Copies of this chain bind each other. A is one copy, B any other.
């Protein structure tokens, strides 16, 4: 055979309109509306939409956004709990060619103002419940977005936000905005599947949040990845206990739609309302942080009438919690991921033969983070300097690295952080783990500067920045403290200045005045900080002390 030869498969077989279409999760909505137009798509209290109606509403919203000047690559922010409008934004915003920026409803005004400015939001769709904090955030901006109010009858102020004590911020009401839209609007399709679809801010490890930019291709693939790993079939009834503003509800707005399932909305995650929804709507699936499991476990409810599948992410659920939940009829699937990889990208894939093991052994196996999603092409625990994989011995620590089609485009307007995250051609998670002999990875230590409390990421550096602003504080270091309910809470170790005094309550109040309340430390411990010979604070020592104090 000759060495050089032409490849006949490359001749005259180019892409064309018939055989190449950019991947987009918006197609899932179009298909479900076409095939199952009369099936229920969304339930919220007494409200019901069919897939035909949901498509109609999304097209109207996209059309109205376009009519108000939204163009390709513009940002549309949403501040809302899990209501139908948040769901609709996951389709309508891309249908207008824009990028969805879902805001965490627990953030403080300063952070929201930072995000709106950094992300360049041109439109903000906001639930009237958050009018006070949004009002303060908008006051900080020179260049204000167009504001559209969601006046949810189930919200604390009812449909008429003004009359009942709430406050409308915009000139526009969501339903009126939709009414002015065109239900026959021809949705924009991405020019390239690499185009941005969403912008999600993560607290990261530095004070200012970073804007994770995801793309159509990854959103499409991770939506399918959820189906593959969870064995989802047509028409799941999915309860929205996981916030849609957490990595786009881990892509489940798209996943459930691909299967023409039903989205059951929930403004507030409370045990009674979760159990009521499960009973009333025949919920089959839900997701949530371990704190949600604790809540459901401690509510004193009886066994479920039918089994319900629950996916939980992040901190490994304790064996007792898994066991307790399974006794109630919840089937627990453990996943792990980050906003940078569209939410879960790793799953503790179960082996049938593990069913026969004792309960504590099953729980131990299930508490491991596991293996890559089929749509994540590379996963390894490796030396952070050399990128050499660690031996699969269950003992050698390394950093978790990922590579594949569900890894973000990068951080918005932050080339240094993007370059750092992708150094060496792998995404650096910052999480430390071991690899077991069977290849399953297990996190041994969260990235040193992140606390996960009730499913929210909290940057210890952000808290330390505030502590250092306190006049009595000389030095401060914050670490995670294990908490049976929240998973972790921030614990601050503080050294006071010579002769200064301060008590824990006052320091905590000082923090709460300057940051989102959930980020403020719960415990303050006074004393000198342990340091290395080069003067670096030994956080691992503090983590041990925080643990001992629980």
Residues of A near any B CB (own CB < 8 A): 1, 5, 7-13, 15-21, 23, 27-28, 31, 34-36, 69, 71-73, 99, 120, 122, 194-196, 199, 213, 218, 224, 227-228, 231, 233-235, 258-259, 349, 351-352, 371-372, 374, 377-378, 402-405, 407-410, 412-413, 415, 418, 421-422, 425-427, 439
Q: Is the CB of A12 within 8 A of B374?
A: no
A-B contact pairs, 20 of them (CB 8 A): A8-B412, A8-B413, A9-B73, A9-B99, A9-B213, A12-B415, A13-B412, A18-B407, A18-B425, A19-B404, A20-B405, A21-B378, A21-B403, A21-B405, A23-B405, A28-B374, A31-B374, A34-B439, A233-B233, A258-B374
Query: If A19-B422, A196-B13 touch, does A73 touch B8 (CB 8 Å cutoff)?
Result: yes
Q: Is the CB of B234 within 8 A of A231?
A: yes
Residue of B nearest to A194 (CB): B15
Q: Told that A17-B422, A36-B351, A235-B352 touch, could you supply 17 new A-B pairs with CB distance under 8 A?
A: A8-B73, A8-B412, A9-B199, A10-B73, A11-B413, A16-B425, A18-B425, A19-B405, A19-B407, A20-B194, A21-B377, A21-B378, A23-B405, A31-B372, A35-B439, A227-B227, A228-B258
Q: Which chain B residues border A425 with CB–CB below 8 Å?
A: 16-18
**Majority-rule SS of A interface residues:** loop
Residue of B nearest to A231 (CB): B233
Q: Report the minimal beta-carbon distance from A52 to chain B, rounded to whole angstroms.
A: 12
Complex CA distance for A402 and B409, rounded to whole angstroms: 31
Q: Is the CB of A409 within 8 A of B13?
A: yes
Query: If A73-B9, A413-B8 touch, does A17 touch B213 (CB 8 Å cutoff)?
Result: no
Complex CA distance for A422 and B15, rounded to whole angstroms: 11
Q: Which chain B residues border A21 with CB–CB below 8 Å?
A: 377-378, 403-405
Closest 8 pairs between A and B when the two form their complex, measured CB to CB: A17-B425, A7-B73, A9-B196, A231-B233, A19-B407, A13-B409, A21-B377, A1-B69
Query: Which of A1, A19, A227: most chain B Cβ within 10 A?
Result: A19
Q: Report the minimal beta-carbon distance from A232 to chain B, rounded to whole angstroms.
A: 8
Query: Which of A35, A72, A421: most chain B Cβ within 10 A?
Result: A35
Complex CA distance for A191 and B34, rounded to whole angstroms: 36
Q: Is the CB of A410 within 8 A of B13?
A: yes
Q: Report the minimal beta-carbon distance from A350 to chain B, rounded to whole angstroms.
A: 8
Q: Is the CB of A371 within 8 A of B34?
A: yes
Complex CA distance for A7 and B195, rounded to whole angstroms: 10
Complex CA distance for A120 and B1, rounded to whole angstroms: 12
Residue of B nearest to A234 (CB): B231
Q: Which chain B residues border A410 with CB–CB below 8 Å?
A: 12-13, 19
Q: Report the minimal beta-carbon distance from A436 to chain B, rounded to whole angstroms.
A: 12
Q: Report the minimal beta-carbon distance from A257 to chain B, rounded to whole angstroms.
A: 10
Q: Is the CB of B122 within 8 A of A1?
A: yes
Q: Is the CB of B404 within 8 A of A371?
A: no
Q: Is the CB of A427 within 8 A of B371?
A: no
Complex CA distance for A529 and B57, rounded to whole angstroms: 57
Q: Is the CB of A409 within 8 A of B73?
A: no
Q: Report the minimal beta-carbon distance from A431 to chain B, rounded to whole angstroms.
A: 16
Q: Report the minimal beta-carbon distance from A373 to chain B, rounded to whole angstroms.
A: 9
Residue of B nearest to A39 (CB): B351
Q: Report the minimal beta-carbon distance from A323 to chain B, rounded to whole angstroms.
A: 23
Q: Is the CB of A18 within 8 A of B231?
A: no
Complex CA distance for A10 and B412, rounded to whole angstroms: 9
Q: Which chain B residues border A426 with CB–CB below 8 Å?
A: 17-18
Q: Report the minimal beta-carbon distance from A319 to chain B, rounded to whole angstroms.
A: 23
Residue of B nearest to A218 (CB): B19
Complex CA distance for A8 and B12, rounded to whole angstroms: 35
Complex CA distance for A404 and B235, rounded to whole angstroms: 24
Name the one of B71, B227, B418 contacting A12, with C-beta atoms under 8 angstroms. B418
Q: Is the CB of B403 within 8 A of A213?
A: no
Name the one of B5, B120, B196, B227 contacting A228, with C-beta atoms under 8 angstroms. B227
Q: Which chain B residues border A405 with CB–CB below 8 Å?
A: 19-21, 23
Q: Which chain B residues border A407 with CB–CB below 8 Å?
A: 18-19
